[in-house]
Structure 1
Amino acid sequence: MKVRIDMTYKTPKGTKSAFSSEEIQAAQAILIAEDLEKTGRVKDFTFVDNQDHTWSLKELKEYMKGIETEPHNITVYFDGGFDLKTKKSGLGCAIYYEQNGKSYRHRKNALVDELHTNNEAEYAALHLALQEMEFMGVHHMSVAIVGDSQVVINQLSGEWPCLEDELSKWADRVEVKMEQMGIQPEYKAVSRKRNREADRLATQALEDTEITSTIEL
């Protein structure tokens, strides 16, 4: 989860001013706040998440302690491909996360035959990633969602309109699943080269190679 720090600074002579930080990871925000507290000049810490919910330092520390045993600091890479010859689609996703003080990578792919375009396959790959996260117990937190599909990333982030009926249905399906899980997405479009792992998983699915794995990094 990312938060903004709102604070009041007071000089030795009593002059006060309010400051706000950029959005940073909650764990980093706690470290910075605790360090600033030691100066004795910063008061009235408030932490604001991307849902405009406010937290005290005590509340944020308790929240971070509570999620330590759950998957958190999650980044999802997804990719989908459609084969015109076979009319089948390969879906792939790689999920990076932390849990109990350790880092993990979960990979999953799937071969499906009910889709009709590459863009549908891209949406389906993201939906597959959401299903995997649901199985992992992910809920009510920010998730970085990374893909090379400009269509999916820009439509879901609201930058582009979704005019095709089938893609609109997929967008609704993805957004409903996120809402059910309490996920606050942070979308990022990257080049295909930087999405190589998910692309490879989608290709392996089209080659009928099924992959489901979780490893500690």
Structure 2
Amino acid sequence: MKGIISFTYRTPKGADTVLYSDEMRAAKALLLAEDMERTGRANDIQFIDTHEYSWNLKELRKQLEEIKTEPHDVKIYFDGGFDLKSRKSGLGCAIYYEQNEKAYRLRRNALVEELESNNEAEYAALHLAVKEVEELGVHHMPITIIGDSQVVINQLSEDWPVYEKELAKWANRIEDKVEKLGLEVEFELVSRKKNREADQLATQALKEVNISSLKEMDR
């Protein structure tokens, strides 16, 4: 969850004004707001989220405690590969998240036959990942989507237009799912080297090696 801090700052001589912070994660906002509160010069402190809902500090503390029990700090790595000879596609995704103060990694892949291009396979891989996030119960919180596909990342972040009919269908499916879940998405384009895990999962799918695992990780 992201938002800004709104507060009234009052000087020792009684002059005051309303100030607003830059946008930040809720956990960071709470730390700063609690520190400002201790100075005795900041009053009427509110956290205003990206949906323009206001939380006082008590409400924000409670919300962050509840979030700890749900999957959060979610990062999705995705990759898709298309084999021209067999006309098959391999989809791979690795999802990292925290829950109950533990860290986890979920890995999934899939072999599909109905796609027509590598870009379509990339979109299908991300769609697979978003469905897995839904199955985890992730909703109304920020997630980071990471991939090496310039087409998918730039089109979904609206830096590039979507002209191809089939890609537009996949983009709409993903955007509808994201909206339904109330997710706040940040996109990150990385090199193929930094997306090696998802790439390997997609390659294994093309080799008909099925991967489906959930592992607790070191924090």
Q: Please state how far the C-alpha of 1:15 moved relative to its aligned partner.
A: 2.7
Output the CA distance in 1 between the equivalents of 2:156 and 2:11. 45
Q: CA deviation at 1:3?
A: 2.0
Partners of 2:126 and 2:4 in 1: CA distance? 28
Corresponding residue SS for 1:47: strand
- Give secondary structure in 2 for the equivalent of 1:19: strand
1:60 counterpart residue number: 60
Give 1:131's aligned residue.
131
Q: CA deviation at 1:111?
A: 0.9
Task: For 2:126 and 2:54, locate their aligned partners in 1 and report how far apart those are by CA, in whole Å.
Answer: 30
Instruction: Give the root-mean-square deviation of aligned CA atoms.
Output: 1.4
Q: Write out per-residue CA displacement over residues 96-151 of structure 1, whole angstroms, 9 at most, x where no aligned residue.
A: 11101111111111111110111111110111011111111111211111111111
Give the 5 Å matches for 1:1-217: 1-217=1-217
The range that moved more, 45-54 or 83-92, is 45-54
Deviates more, 1:168-177 or 1:9-18: 9-18
Question: Mean Cα displacement is larger for which, 116-125 or 203-212?
Answer: 203-212
Q: CA separation in 2, counterparts of 1:30 and 1:212? A: 37
Shift of 1:17: 3.4
Post-superposition, which runs of at least 4 consecutive aligned residues in structure 1 deviate over 6 A?
none
C-alpha distance in 1, partners of 2:35/2:117? 52
Following superposition, the deviation at residue 203 of structure 1 comes to 1.1
SS in 2 for 1:38: helix
How far apart, CA to CA, are the structure 1 residues paired with 2:141 and 2:60? 13
Counting aligned pairs with the same residue, the percent is 60
Structure 2: which 5+ runs fail to align?
Answer: none
Q: Under a length normalisation based on structure 2, what TM-score does the superposition of the two structures give?
A: 0.94
Q: Give the paired residue count.
A: 217
Task: Find the aligned partners of 2:191 and 2:8 in 1 and give their Cα distance.
Answer: 41
TM-score using structure 1 length: 0.94
Amino acid at match of 2:207: E
Q: Which runs of 5+ in 1 are unaligned?
A: none
Kindly state the Cα deviation for residue 33 of structure 1 after the two structures are TM-superposed: 1.0
**Alignment partner of 1:208: what SS?**
coil
Moved more, 57-66 or 99-108: 57-66
Deviations 1:33-71 (A, max 9, x none): 111111111112121222333222222222112222110
Q: Distance in 2 between matches of 1:172 and 1:107?
A: 24
SS in 1 for 2:35: helix
Q: Which is further off, 33-42 or 181-190? A: 181-190
